Amino acid sequence: MLESKRILVAGDVMLDRYWFGEVNRISPEAPVPIVRVEKREERLGGAANVARNAAALGLHAGLLGVIGDDEAGNSVEHLLRQSGIDSYLSRDTAISTIIKLRVIGRQQQLLRIDFEEKPTEHVLQDKLSRFNALISEYDLIVLSDYAKGSLVNVVAMIAAAKAAGKPVLVDPKGSDFARYAGATMLTPNKAELRQVIGDWTSETELTEKAQTLRHQLSLDALLLTRSEEGMSLYTEHDVTHVPAMAREVYDVSGAGDTVIATMAASLASGMSMKDAVMLANRAGGIVVGKLGTATVSKEELFATA
């Protein structure tokens, strides 16, 4: 069973907003559907969704990031309190909180509108100082990079965590993974890995390229999430392929957050990497059957074991 451990999540914090409504006609002004909004929901997104998933699995989670000094930032803080997550968020008065607004009609996403600005330098420096002060209080570190500007100091953060003897799991972004060198594990999806190593024509070629990258970055492991193909774990001595769970995919939003949170929970509890990947794969298979950014409870996870 997963033990109650302390996990610190740092990265790009977002607020996910959902507007649900009925679609019964097309606009006379343009060939677009008219959605009559009947229900609104707010959920934690980005790095905050990773922390939410960790908390749902029974872990003591802390969240470090940047939000605006605005109403959306207040909503993020409120949702963190509801989930029992320790908030170490810095308020940046020069920006607005990142928001992803999704309009849902007839249980299908019709539109997504993003509101985002990069944090200012002085707030990011304060965030790094706070990170360094918090490391000793946590068992494992998760860095959730959505390329929104909150992890510009990721090199220093990984170095500090390593110096403190803490495992570091990173959900990476971008075409250059060099800044993540020295992390314990990276968890890219196929599109993210392809940006870095190029395409591959066979499983053998993929393994060679993935292992070369893992070695170059001095990673203990590289976990590739492959959608309908499951997951592949590359380590120094082994390659482990885990087939996807055979269940209907409803919404992949935030599935990577669930996977890395489950990996973090499992590894912090002393589970082997192979066993942790099996559990994370199961969690990912469950969460894609839910609408929007969602979580998996311990009861759901182990009921399917």
pLDDT for the residue numbered 298: 76
Asked if residue 112 belongs to a domain, the reply is no
Count of domains for the chain: 1
Catalytic residue (choose from 12, 171, 251, 257): 257
**CA–CA separation, 290 and 53 (whole Å):** 14
CATH value at residue 222:
3.40.1190.20
* Residue 17 lies inside a defined structural domain of this protein: no
In this predicted structure, what is the pLDDT of residue 294? 76
Q: Is 258 helix (H, G, I), strand (E, B) or coil?
A: helix
| Residue at 114 is within a domain | no
**Residue 27 falls within a domain, yes or no?**
no
Does 296 reside within a domain?
yes
Indicate whether 186 belongs to any domain.
Answer: yes
Number of helical (H) and strand (E) elements in the chain, helices listed first:
9, 13
Domain of 237?
6-12+45-96+121-303
Active site (annotated) includes residue 257: yes
Note the pLDDT of residue 251. Answer: 60
> Is residue 102, in this structure, part of any structural domain at all?
no
Q: Answer whether residue 254 is part of any domain.
A: yes
Residues of the chain short of pLDDT 50, as ranges, are 304
- Round to whole Å and give the CA distance between 153 and 269: 28
- Over the stretch 239-264, which tens digit does the pLDDT of each residue have? 999 987 756 655 666 688 889 999 99
